Amino acid sequence: MNKQVLKALNLSIEKWERIVKGDGVDRGEDDCALCNMFIKGNCRGCPVSEVIGYWGCNNTPYENWTSHQNLKHWLEDEKKVHCSECKDLATKELEFLKDLRVEYESNIK
């Protein structure tokens, strides 16, 4: 992972820290630094994609977050922490991204 990818990963972690604290919202790929960097290339090179083995964020905590938001809070204007389950799911996404950072930090070229 190069320094640009690590910076994007750190920005994504900061986004989820704000969401967990209740100060942030999730706008999907529109406000994900990793998506901004990799989505046009079908996520090739994205550390999330590398870990799960294919493009997108399926089979990650983000999939559970999105499903919960769509099923339980579909009337809300924003994807954010609305309930304790939201907070738990957002925390799992944050932990997933932090684990990725630990795994990849030592591989900076």
Q: Taking the C-alpha atoms of 71, 20, 106 and 51 in order, what is their torsion angle to the nearest 10 degrees?
A: 0
Whose tokens are 């070229």? That residue is 109
Domain range summary for the chain, segments of one domain joined by +: 3-105
pTM: 0.91
pLDDT digits (tens, 9 = 90+) for 30-53: 999 999 999 999 999 999 998 888
pLDDT at 109 over 60: no
The C-alpha atoms of residue 83 and residue 79 are separated, in whole angstroms, by: 11
Contact 105, 6 (CB under 8 A): yes
